[in-house]
Amino acid sequence: MEPLKDIGGPAQPLLTITGLVKHFPLKKDPLGRGGGVVRAVDGVDFEVMKGETLGVVGESGCGKSTTARLLMQLIEPTRGEVIFDGREVGSRDLPLKEFRRQVQMVFQDSYASLNPRLTIEDSVAFGPQVHGVSRRESVARARDLLARVGLAPQRFAERYPHELSGGQRQRVNIARALALQPRMVILDEAVSALDKSVEAQVINLLLDLKTEFGLTYVFISHDLNVVRYVSDRVMVMYLGQVAEIGPADALYETPAHPYTRALLSSMPSMDPDNRTEVAALAGDPPNPINPPTGCRFHPRCSIAAPLCSRVAPERIETGSQHAVSCLVHEPGSGHPMAQPQPFQKQAA
Ligand SMILES: Nc1ncnc2c1ncn2[C@@H]1O[C@H](COP(=O)(O)OP(=O)(O)OP(=O)(O)O)[C@@H](O)[C@H]1O
Ligand SMILES: [Mg+2]
């Protein structure tokens, strides 16, 4: 596999997502009531830079997995555009089959992702064979990868998924994702089901493989500590939208969105001098069928003003690569905590 070529130069986007929307239609009942849509992803824009790890966090149901499935083209977007390395996914420039080789996904459920009737060697060799690699070459590649993820092929190649532990199965899933020599891997809660010590091993394996194969990761997890550890940048989602996105250190040290602050304050801190004063999040997020008007976070926000229920915030840059959607950060928004409108020259 090719080494990372982009070291040194300014970061280039590998993936650019613009205006991504996924509304799942709801079935009407026999009397024709209901209908409507679940606004699972509702206007999401972001980039993933070559060679970086973008972490994605947010409460259950905020649209992380739907975003991942849209990126993978496993489901059709309602609207929006996915550009991969400058080419539109699904266009003549970049047919789906070619894109699907270059972007792979690893899910949480290590068992469900594997065919119980295939040996793990055959599971890992399957993808390359589908993509036209010879059986011999596919098996050789599978054995190399099994060794690389810490499963000695002499011992493990002929085993079946049920003969492995959860951590071992997840290593097989990682090997399987890498067998197609992808450029990007989307990890959706890929380590969340593992015991803490096994989780740490698999995370370190992922970081090693990333360097070795020059990969780009999208790393989705509930675990804010793990996300900080692995990510270069982090995106915080709330009810199908991006609340905040920025470099991991900046986002964790100076979170700009009240939702990010609340999320972080609910995170167990190792340091007794570092207990935050921000109120932790109360209650569950509202229903994505009928999201709140204005800023979607306003019903749970400790600094919401009346305006927040009427006006949807725009995305504002608050620092280098750091952006937030909150009226407090929008100069002239009218929020009592916002800066006044910057001076504008009157037209002559
Ligand atoms: N196929 C579907 N049909 C209808 N609604 C769906 C479908 N898939 C997801 N949803 C809804 O879309 C919203 C976002 O779901 P999603 O699975 O993307 O959230 P998530 O952030 O991955 O949550 P979790 O942290 O629990 O994995 C949820 O309200 C969910 O119920
Ligand atoms: Mg999910």
Identify the band that residue 22 occupies on the pLDDT scale cut at 50, 70 and 90.
very high
Is residue 337 assigned to a domain?
A: no
Q: Which two tokens stand for residue 271?
A: 């340091």
For residue 283, the CA-to-ligand 2 centroid distance in Å is 19
For residue 285, the CA-to-ligand 1 centroid distance in Å is 13
Give the Cα separation of 251 and 2 in Å (integer): 32
CB-based contacts of 141: which residues, under 8 Å, 6+ apart?
A: 124, 125, 128, 133, 179
Q: Kindly state whether residues 223 and 262 are assigned to the same domain.
A: no
pLDDT on residue 1: 47
Q: Kindly state whether residues 128 and 167 are assigned to the same domain.
A: yes
Is residue 232 assigned to a domain?
A: yes
Per-residue pLDDT of 209-254, as tens digits, reads 999 999 999 999 989 999 999 999 999 999 999 999 999 999 999 9
Q: Kindly state whether residues 179 and 65 are assigned to the same domain.
A: yes
Q: Kindly state whether residues 185 and 316 are assigned to the same domain.
A: no
Closest among 320, 322, 297, 317 to 309, alpha carbons compared:
297
Is residue 7 assigned to a domain?
A: no
- Enclosing H/E stretch for 125: helix 120-130
Q: Is 186 in the pocket of ligand 1 (CB under 6 A)?
A: no
For residue 340, the CA-to-ligand 2 centroid distance in Å is 39
The reported pTM is: 0.91
Closest among 334, 263, 336 to 297, alpha carbons compared:
263
Side-chain half-sphere CA neighbours of 139 within 13 A: 9
Q: Kindly state whether residues 51 and 136 are assigned to the same domain.
A: yes
Mean pLDDT over the full length of the chain: 90
Range of the domain at 308: 258-271+280-329
Strands 315-319 and 184-188: unpaired
> CB 83: neighbour CB atoms within 10 A?
18
Q: Kindly state whether residues 221 and 265 are assigned to the same domain.
A: no
Between 91 and 6, residue with greater pLDDT: 91
Q: Is 38 in the pocket of ligand 1 (CB under 6 A)?
A: yes
Q: Kindly state whether residues 204 and 295 are assigned to the same domain.
A: no
Question: What are the distances in angstroms from CA 334 to CA 154, 230, 257, 259, 288?
Answer: 67, 38, 17, 20, 27
Q: Is 151 in the pocket of ligand 1 (CB under 6 A)?
A: no
Is residue 217 assigned to a domain?
A: yes
Q: What percent of the chain has pLDDT over 70?
A: 91
Q: Kindly state whether residues 228 and 288 are assigned to the same domain.
A: no
pLDDT on residue 345: 59
Task: Indicate the Cα dihedral angle 198, 177, 112, 288, nearest 10°.
Answer: 90
Side-chain half-sphere CA neighbours of 132 within 13 A: 3
Q: Domain count of the chain? A: 2
Between 28 and 214, residue with greater pLDDT: 214
Give the Cα separation of 118 and 33 in Å (integer): 46
> CB 3: neighbour CB atoms within 10 A?
9
- Atom 28, ligand 1: which residue's CA is nearest? 61
Q: Is 62 in the pocket of ligand 1 (CB under 6 A)?
A: yes
Closest among 15, 23, 75, 11 to 45, alpha carbons compared:
15
CB-based contacts of 165: which residues, under 8 Å, 6+ apart?
A: 198
Atom number of ligand 1 nearest to Cα 240: 14
